[in-house]
Structure formats: structure tokens, C-alpha cells
Amino acid sequence: MIKFNKNFQLGASISALQTEGRGITNIGKSTFDKYFEEHPELFFNKVGPDITCDITRNYKEDIKKFKEIGFDSFRTSFSWSRLFPDGENVDNDAVNFYHSYIKEFKKKNIKLIMTLFHFDMPLWAHKIGGWSSREVINKFLIYCNFVFNEYGDEIDYYVTFNEPLVPVYEGYLNDKHYPAIDDPKEAIEQAFGIFLAHSKVLLEYKKHSLKAKIGLVFNWNYTYPFSNSIKDIEAAKVYDAYVNRGPLNIMFNGRIDPILIDTLKRYNMLPNYSKEELNIITMTKIDFLGINYYFPCRVRFKPNNKNRWIMDNYIIEIPKNAKINPHRGWEIYPEALYEIGMEIKNNYNNIPWYIAENGMGVEGEDKFRDKDGIIVDDYRISFMNDHLMQIKKAIDDGSNCFGYHVWAAIDCWSFRNAFKNRYGLIELNLNDQSRKFKKSAFWFKSLIENKVLYND
């Protein structure tokens, strides 16, 4: 038996884009709306972002269910496109919706973590350059300042960005996000803009003198070399500078890894920037850190001869003997969470941190339904249990982890994946929008009530 401190927060996460749909207020188009309009066939079962969980209509019942499970805290996000549908003018109906939404969590005594940007780039912003545009960054600051003024300490924790570089890697080097191009130079410009926007928001936040903390949620898919070869070890070091520790360091306290500067110079890939902007980035300081962890990255040196930038020389490869989630093709390796906890303790000033997302997506969960109609997701319970064990081990060794959020509270729409792989503690029926607890919800409820894990 392993017991967590009574103050250890156990909860769940969702996002606006993945749960709100068009909703009950006006909302501007996002890049995912545009992507679905252009290529509905790329989205699983041609399910787009129009409805998702329809949470703007169902939030009171949903939050009632969250309270039944017993969440200590909860993370979701504001929609920039809902609050500023045209990028210029505030929509008062949207403002009032979020007040009501937040109030419902407060009534249930659930701490609230609100993200300012979770993959939902407004289409108007994309059209003028996305994060490479200083105009977009300035309008993002206007939106953020509005949120800080309007909602203030109604929020317990603010988050600037969730998984900041995922839209870059998946949209500018892959086809999973819009605009679905493969352009490393533009990817670097977008990434620098995100770093700059993050730092500027933190500086703006200080002017509001709020009690709420502000931080970052970063997807740290811990990096290992695929083998002990010198080339794989060097590949993992460079990959880490581009994907994991490198960007995390920039957004943690403004430290830019020399590997990034040297390799970008070598390929003539440095982004456009000014000395003033670099100075702003060096002033970065967050209050807490959220970590999303699903799988590790085992990096192998394998040149593809494109010779555009150094990252063309590396691939991620899963060992043949690894434990796999067959539905996602992701390696299951809870032990990396302990290493992350120790990294944060030893190299990140032991900043307060929590697991902001950790979960298991499974396709076709209906086949696990019992005679009473409940999905018996023992695989999800086992996944959470094993990862929580590693978190507790890190806590016992002095890492300052204050909580764990499962992804997700409810089955969410997941971009091109739509509802193919389900992650929720609560099942969503797409035909009638009804909700039902899975077995994991009852397990998680017991965990929250007792703060105890059983390791037998």
C-alpha cells in the first residue's frame, strides 16, 4: 500500500477545442475548422470539431459527474476564438459563459487550472502568419490581459501554453495539424514566436498582481538513445535540445541551448528576431510546471539525405521488446516519470510541478462492456496505477510534485483522430451525448477518497 499526502491533487484534464464544439455562443473559426472543411476524409469517421462533447450545453451535468468522482482539481482552457470571434471584439455571451462555467467548478470546490492556448489557433491569426507574426502575438497579449482582468483570481492556476511545440511539429513538419506542410524553416519561425509570446504573457501577468499562479504545461516525452552507439547518443542529445529539454529550458527560464544556436546556424535556419526579443525571453520565469507524459522517445541516427536541417538525421524507434499500447502504437514506460521527477528536482530548482496529462487511448472500448453496460477498462486502471507509482517514488526522493491529472475526464474529440481512441474516465455516446462512468472512474474515485495505491 502506498499513500499520497492528503494535499496531493488528483483530477483530470480536457480542453476547450476538444469538448466545446461550436457551442451556445458565437465562435470564430479555428485552423481545425478549416482543415476539416478542406479534408473531412482525413478525420476518423469524418467527425469534425463542430459538436465534440457539446460541453457548453452540458457543463453543469458534467461538473456534477466530476464532483461525483471527487476531483480535487481540473484543467481545461479558454477559447481565444470564442472570447474574440473576429480577433478584435469581445463576445459578451462568451464572457458570461465562462463566468458560469468557472462558478460551477467553484461551487463544487474543484480547483481550476485554465490554459490560454491549447492547439486552437484562430483562422484569422493563421492567415496573417500564426505565431511568426508579431501582430498575432500582440493580439494574443490583448486576449490574455482581458482574461486576467475579467477572471482574475476566480482561477487557481493559469497556463500560457499546453504542449507548445506540438502544433509546430504536427502542422509545419507533418500533416496532423493545419496547415499540414513540411517546412523546417517555417517551423522554426513558429516556434520562436511561441517562445516570445509565452515570455511576453508572463511579463504582462505580473502587472495584474493576482494570487493565482501562472505556469506552462509541457509534453516531456523523455529522451533516450536507441542504443549505446556514439551516433545514437549524439542523436538523442541533439533531439533533446530540439524537442524536450531545449524548448523546456527556454520556456522555464529563458536559457537557449547552444546546440540549437550552433545547428541552426550551420543550416542557415536561425529565426528572425531582435535583441529586444531575446532579452524578453531571458526574463522568463514561471511559478509552476505541468508535465504531459505518455511515452518516451528513443532516438536513432538515420540520415534521410534531405539535408534541410539537422533533425532530418534522426528517427524515433521503439525497441522490439517494449511494452506497447497497440491502439496508439506508443511505448508504455512509466519509469521515465521517475527520471522526470528527478530532473525537475535537480535541474529545475525543484519547482512545484504536476502531471497535467497521462492516460491511455483505446479503440473499440465497446468490446470491454460488461453485462451491466459499463466499460471495464482495467488496462486504463493498470496504466494509471503504474505511472502513479513512479510519481510517488519521485516524491519520496524529494521531487516537488503536487498532483496528477488523467487525460481525460471524458472521451474527447482528438483532432484528426476524432473519437477513434477513447481516453475518458467517462464514456461519451456520440449519438445522444449521454455520459456514463467507466470502471476507471470508480477506481479513481476510491483513489481520491483514500489517497492510497495498492501495489499488489
Q: Beta strands 297-301 and 314-316: pairing type?
A: antiparallel
The yes-or-no answer on residue 427 being catalytic is: no
**Cα–Cα dist 301/168, whole Å:** 22
Quote the pLDDT of residue 456.
58
Q: Which residue out of 104, 331, 357, 427 is catalytically annotated? A: 357
**pTM of the predicted model as reported, rounded to 2 decimal places:** 0.97
Quote the pLDDT of residue 307.
86
The three three-digit cell numbers of residue 193, written as one number:
514566436
The three three-digit cell numbers of residue 279, written as one number:
532579452
- Name residues of the chain where pLDDT drops below 50: none
Quote the pLDDT of residue 12.
99
Q: Rounded to whole angstroms, what are the CA distances from 180 to 10, 270, 420? A: 36, 22, 20
The yes-or-no answer on residue 335 being catalytic is: no
Nearest to 35 by CA among 418, 412, 416, 413: 416
Quote the pLDDT of residue 143.
98
Where b means 16+ CB within 10 Å and e means fewer, 420-440 reads bbbbbbbbbeeeeeebebbbb
For 76, phi and psi rounded to 5 degrees?
-145, -155
CB 388 within 8 A of CB 397: no
3-state secondary structure of 270: coil
Q: What is the pLDDT of residues 148-183, one digit of tens each?
A: 999 999 999 999 999 999 999 999 999 999 999 999
Q: Which residue out of 20, 104, 163, 186 is catalytically annotated? A: 163
Q: Which CATH architecture has domain 2-453?
A: Alpha-Beta Barrel (3.20)
The side-by-side arrangement of strands in the sheet containing 314-316 is 223-225, 297-301, 314-316
Number of Cβ within a 10 Å radius of residue 40: 12
Place of cell 455520459: 435
Break the chain into its structural domains and give their ranges: 2-453
